[in-house]
Amino acid sequence: MKILAIRGKNLASLARLFEIEFTSEPLASTGIFAITGPTGAGKSTLLDALCLALYDDMPRLPREGTRQQLPDVSGETIAPRDPRTILRRGAGEGFAEVDFVGNDGVRYRAHWSVRRARSKAEGRLQASEMSLLSLDHQQIIASSRKTEVLEAIVARIGLSFEQFTRGVLLAQNEFASFLKAPDDKRAELLQTLTGTDLFAELSRRAYQYAKGAEQNLGHLRTRLANLAILSTEERQQQELASSQAQRQVQTLETERLQLEQQLQWYRQAAQLEQAYQQANTSLAKALEEEQAANERRQFLAKLEAVQALNGLVTHRQRLQQDLTTSTAQLQIAQQHHATTEQHQQLAQTQLLAVQTQLTAKQQEYAALQPELLQARQLDTLIQAVLPRHAAALTQQQTAQQAFHVLQTAAKQHTAKLTQVQQQQTTLKAWQREHSAWQGLAEHWPRWQGLLQQAQASWQQQTEAESKLKAVAAELVQLETHLAQAKLAWQQQQQALMAATAQAQQAQQQATHYDLEDLAKQRQQLEADLRQLQAAQQAGLAVQTSSQALADGQLAFQQAQLQQQHSAQLCQQLQAQLLVVEGESERAEHTWRLAAAACADQAAHWRAQLTAGDACPVCGALEHPYAQQAPALDALLVHLQQDYLQQREAAKVLTGRVNAEQAHWQHYQQQSLSLEQSLTQATAAKNAALAAWQTYAQLGLVGEGETTTELEQRLAIQQQALAAIHPTEQAARRAYQQHELAQQAQRQAQQLASAAQDRYLSLETKLKLQQTQQHYLQQGQVELTTRLQAYLKQLDSAFVDPSWQVAWQVSAPQFIERCADQVRSWQAQQQAEHQLNQEQTELVAAQTAFDFKIQQAQAGLNHRQQELAELAAELALQQQQRQSLFAESLIELEERWQRELAQLAQQVTALQTQAEQADHAQIRAAANLGQLQTQVEQLKDQQRLSQQSLATELASLRQHGFSLEEAELTALLRYQPVWLQRERQALQALHVAGRQAQAILDERQAQRTQHEQSRPEAASLETVQAAYASQLLNLQAAQLAAQELLLSLREDQQQREYAEGLQVELAQLTSQARIWGQLNELIGSANGNKFRDIAQQYSLDVLLSYANRHLADLSRRYSLRRVQRSLALLVLDQDMGGEIRSVHSLSGGESFLVSLALALGLASLSSQRVKVESLFIDEGFGSLDTDSLRIAMDALDQLQAQGRKVGVISHVQEMTERLGVQIQVRRLSGGQSHIRVSGQ
């Protein structure tokens, strides 16, 4: 990077426009120059202009912000940090501009400007503007936004503002304070100057990570201590209880299934009975609907009969519509035909009138053409002559003046030329005598600088070779270690990236869950579920007990009725039995009497009976059977049979009485049993109702809520609980995976950090060595190349090839001899150049004067003659043109063309209207004829259609359908879709009747088949009661078993979670130990520990650069760093290598050491950028004579290294020693003026 020029205006005291061109003499050929002037004149303002144009900043501005504001015009304020404060008070605008060569070798121009509103001194300050222009390509690189311009400038210079102020602008006072500052302050300054604040951040990070690892370890231990895990004995007891509960649940479930099968049979029997009744009802309804649809079938038959006439009626209606429409169109067409005839006649009349006007106008314009042609020719001639006449008049006057001036000047040049030729003759004789000095003298500043630089390069090259060998050996070893460390770091980085991605993914998955909230939800759902289940059981118990009570009451009433009926029947049978037994005894007695009478002994006794005597047996006075007779025997047989019948009837009644008594006893026992069951059912119902009311009071069931609704709520609650269980498991898995991923990430982070630290440490060492090697190699190559280039360039300056031998023997004497020769030759050469230039100019001027005088005379005569001829010709042409037309031909032509064009447009428009009228009349006539023919055809078709319709109606009457035309039209309004739907509906009624009969038969078969599998249970009520009781027992057992399993599962999860925490605890312990060790090495809360270690290496690099510069400035001293600190010592070579404190240095010695530090930092900041311009802003006024001499010798050494050095100073001795100066002089009114002076 090289500065070519600095320009500016209205910057502080530099009010006038100033420009400093470093590519123009005397600055172009000098290596070092001074910027001088009194204090406050504006020397540093030049460097401010340089920084403003490049960076929109100034070194003198405060680096830290302040709330204090500076007053500006019109009551405005401005911040002290604002670079616009450099604008001179009372100025409306100002700028700074710098030309420079970038790293790419291209010349650029950076421009910075600021102005006030309306460019007035009292206006408000506007935002500053910047731009960057490529001078080589004349192309604007950036100008729209300031940030883009700054980025473009930094990219082409290769230095930031901080690096620029350390590598191009050197402020020595800062490095003097740096030299003697305490260690902590020196570390802060070095960190700021070198931009190596990363190491302080690493130190703070190590401290924070170690502290965070200890905190994480404490939190993990707290979490592990808070876990509640069952003991071994408690877990065994719960496992045993869980196993027993599961077996009990299985047993109760088997019994419940058996009862449920019996209930299902009764429910299915009721459903089959209901289905049978529904099928019977459906059959009756289907038959009734089919019977009611008979009228619809007759109406459908009539509609189907008239469908054949639909086309004929539709055609007749369409003909009537067409006839009406055509008649109306015929009337409209007749009116339109009359209108078109009128339009046609009017258009023809108008067209004829306009065509007549156009013909007359065209004839008049044709008669005017000859005069127009003559006027046009005269205008052309006049326009051609006017410019020539004016030019001729001007040329004649100019030629007259030039002729007189040339005559006077020619006489003066002739006398001066004679004098110059005499001086040239004397000078050429001296040059021939000293011609050998010509090559050396023509470029003496260059040869002088090359001679001095070649000598310095020869000495430096020898010293650099020995240092380079030592650095190269150490660099090879560091490169090997660095490659290994980089590979390890990359591997750890890849592992860290993979672990980080897994951790982020696991974290994203885990953040979807809230374990505590899920546990609370699950516990709440389980509690709600248990309460709802209990409420459901209570509701089922109420329902079951109510049903059982109702069934029991019905059965008890039936049993009571049956018992009463059996008792009544038994009483009736007993009464009948008493009657029959009495009849049987009476028949037996009669039969036995008759038998006794018919026996032998009875016969003996009968014979002894006499009439009127009482019978000894029965006491009767009449004895009808006293005599033996066949009728008596028959009567005896009859009595016997009667007796036997009565006895058999008594036996039958006795059996019936016994049976009825048994039935009555059975009904009595059943009534007693049912009465007990009713008592139990009533108690169960009351208990269930009390439980149900309790749940209602708790708000678990709503008022009027049924068990079905409660069952639905219970199902929803069970689904919610079932849904949350996998979510909870997924959450636990996600958290476990997240914790494992975090552990893996932390472990990978530790390994990557360790690998990175090792790599960065080795890289820092390698960069230090590479920088040192690069500097040595660059210096050696530059020295060798520079020395060879110097010698090669110097060969062309000397005629004698042995000049190098004389130069090497005594370079100062050789240079002084050459300087004397050069000064003599340059003086003669300058005189010759001036004379030659003067002679050439005089000869050329004389020749030019002679030729110009001749030409002026001839031209003057020619111009006068030409002017007279043109004046006569112009007057004649103007007179002829005025006699033809007073107005302009263009206006005349435009007027005639406009009138003709208007008439032509009217003719065209009227022709178009006439054609359109003709066409319209033809179309109207044709349309009228078509419509008349169409009306006649429609009338004929209508008559034929009416005849066909009458014939069809007569045919329908013959088939029994007597219809009028109006009724026919109404019937035909029914659409085919309606007919199809009606047919389908009637068919569906017929099919429905057949299907209903088939369904009824099927339901009867299902009832019969189902009855064959009737269960052994006595009744549905008994099964329902047993099932309800069994269900309550089963639910209670299931709840107990679930609670035991849940407790065991939670304990197992706690155990697994504790195992994971133990693993994580071991890992965190290892990580905390590693971070603790790293914290002990480099960690600190403020970052000072590792910062000091890193800055020791940075200070070593800086000292290596500074010592090289110090060796050029003063070989007596070199700087050393105290081991394990940032303290500085000075090694005094003249005192046998004595180590001295930096505070023991004198003023001049401190200046040299500080200057070496400043140059070392400049080399460190610009090691990748070749800086060819250097500005040193240093107060040399505090130095004594010896120190000032040493400083000036040091600056001469910088010049010898190829840099153009500018030094700001107002010291008189320095001003006298440096011949080329940029002088800043004060003027009145607080202004300053810049002037460049040189040898």
- Assess contact for 1126 and 186: CB atoms under 8 A: yes
Return all residues near 698 (Cβ < 8 A) that are at least 6 apart: 531
Count Cβ neighbours within 10 Å for each residue of 571-605 and write b for 16 or more, e otherwise. Answer: eebbebbeebbebbeebbebbebbeebbeeebeeb
Amino acid identity, position 709: E
Mean pLDDT of 748-756: 78
Backbone angles phi, psi at 797, to 5 degrees: -90, -15
pTM reported for the whole predicted model: 0.38
Mean pLDDT of 268-275: 81
Range name among 6-20, 831-845, 1215-1229 with the lowest pLDDT average: 831-845
Confidence of residue 50 (pLDDT cuts 50, 70, 90): very high
Mean pLDDT of 735-764: 76
pLDDT tens digits for range 405-436:
777 777 777 777 777 778 778 877 777 777 77
Is residue 745 packed enough to be buried (19+ CB in 10 Å), middle (13-18) or exposed (0-12)?
Answer: buried
Is residue 83 packed enough to be buried (19+ CB in 10 Å), middle (13-18) or exposed (0-12)?
Answer: buried
Range name among 18-27, 156-165, 667-676, 803-812 with the lowest pLDDT average: 803-812
Give the CA-trace dihedral at 1165, 1168, 1169, 1171, to 10 degrees.
60
Provide the greatest CA pair distance for the chain: 239
Mean pLDDT of 1022-1035: 80
> Rounded mean pLDDT of the chain?
77
pLDDT at 406: 75
pLDDT tens digits for range 1082-1091:
888 888 888 7
Helical axes 294-306 vs 965-972, angle rounded to 10°:
110
Range name among 44-53, 210-219, 892-901 with the lowest pLDDT average: 892-901
Confidence of residue 107 (pLDDT cuts 50, 70, 90): very high
| Helix (H) / strand (E) containing 113 | strand 107-115
pLDDT at 276: 82
Q: Is 797 a residue whose pLDDT tops 90?
A: no
Three-state SS sequence of 1197-1220? HHHHCCCEEEEECCCHHHHHHCCC
pLDDT tens digits for range 635-663:
667 667 777 877 887 787 788 778 777 77
pLDDT tens digits for range 1197-1221:
666 666 788 888 777 777 777 788 8
Range name among 212-226, 634-648, 746-760 with the lowest pLDDT average: 634-648
Backbone angles phi, psi at 1084, to 5 degrees: -165, 155
Confidence of residue 96 (pLDDT cuts 50, 70, 90): very high
Confidence of residue 152 (pLDDT cuts 50, 70, 90): very high
> Other CB atoms closer than 10 Å to residue 476's CB: what's the count?
9
Q: Give the SS3 label for residue 763.
A: helix
Mean pLDDT of 1128-1142: 82
- Assess contact for 930 and 923: CB atoms under 8 A: no
Three-state SS sequence of 15-53? CCCEEEECCCCCCCCCCEEEEECCCCCCHHHHHHHHHHH
DSSP notation for 280-303: HHHHHHHHHHHHHTHHHHHHHHHH
Q: Is 461 a residue whose pLDDT tops 90?
A: no
Selection from 663, 661, 685, 671 nearest residue 554 by Cα: 671
pLDDT at 825: 77
| Helix (H) / strand (E) containing 1073 | helix 1020-1082
pLDDT at 625: 53
- Assess contact for 556 and 671: CB atoms under 8 A: yes
The top-scoring range by mean pLDDT among 46-50, 582-586, 1097-1101 is 46-50
Is residue 830 packed enough to be buried (19+ CB in 10 Å), middle (13-18) or exposed (0-12)?
Answer: exposed
For 1057, the token pair is: 């979670």
Q: Is 603 a residue whose pLDDT tops 60?
A: no
Q: Is 6 a residue whose pLDDT tops 90?
A: yes
DSSP notation for 209-256: HHHHHHHHHHHHHHHHHT-----HHHHHHHHHHHHHHHHHHHHHHHHH
pLDDT at 768: 67
How far apart CA 370 and CA 837 sit, in angstroms, is 70
The top-scoring range by mean pLDDT among 480-484, 852-856, 874-878, 1189-1193 is 480-484
pLDDT at 65: 55
Q: Give the SS3 label for residue 462.
A: helix
Domains and CATH numbers, the chain: 1-160+1180-1185+1192-1199+1206-1239 (3.40.50.300), 232-292+976-1052 (no CATH), 529-708 (1.10.287)
Mean pLDDT of 467-488: 81
DSSP notation for 128-194: PEEEEEETTTTEEEE-S-HHHHHHHHHHHH---HHHHHHHTEE-HHHHHHHHTS-HHHHHHHHHHHH
pLDDT at 1163: 67
Residues facing residue 7 across a β-bridge: 19, 97
For 441, the token pair is: 């003298």
The top-scoring range by mean pLDDT among 89-103, 205-219, 659-673 is 89-103
> Other CB atoms closer than 10 Å to residue 896's CB: what's the count?
15
Confidence of residue 192 (pLDDT cuts 50, 70, 90): low
Could you give the C-alpha distances from 28 to 3, 22, 463, 1220, in angstroms and in order?
A: 11, 5, 31, 10
The secondary structure of residue 93, as a DSSP letter, is E
Q: Is 95 a residue whose pLDDT tops 90?
A: yes
Selection from 422, 411, 703, 671 nearest residue 563 by Cα: 671
DSSP notation for 1043-1070: HHHHHHHHHHHHHHHHHHHHHHHHHHHH
pLDDT at 1146: 74
Confidence of residue 20 (pLDDT cuts 50, 70, 90): very high
Range name among 192-206, 601-615, 1129-1143 with the lowest pLDDT average: 601-615
pLDDT tens digits for range 1146-1182:
766 777 787 777 777 766 655 556 777 888 876 566 6
Amino acid identity, position 290: E
* N-term to C-term CA, the chain: 27
Selection from 156, 180, 157 nearest residue 167 by Cα: 157
pLDDT at 132: 92
Give the CA-trace dihedral at 25, 28, 34, 38, to 10 degrees.
40
| Helix (H) / strand (E) containing 1140 | strand 1138-1141
The top-scoring range by mean pLDDT among 202-211, 703-712, 863-872 is 202-211
How far apart CA 106 and CA 619 sit, in angstroms, is 181
Q: Is 843 a residue whose pLDDT tops 70?
A: yes
pLDDT at 610: 63
Q: Is 999 a residue whose pLDDT tops 90?
A: no
How far apart CA 539 and CA 550 sit, in angstroms, is 16
The top-scoring range by mean pLDDT among 409-413, 625-629, 1106-1110, 1179-1183 is 1106-1110
pLDDT at 968: 67
Return all residues near 20 (Cβ < 8 A) that are at least 6 apart: 5, 6, 7, 27, 46, 1222, 1234, 1236
How far apart CA 152 and CA 111 sit, in angstroms, is 13
| Helix (H) / strand (E) containing 495 | helix 444-511
Residue with tokens 């299931």: 1038
pLDDT at 1026: 80
Is residue 417 packed enough to be buried (19+ CB in 10 Å), middle (13-18) or exposed (0-12)?
Answer: middle
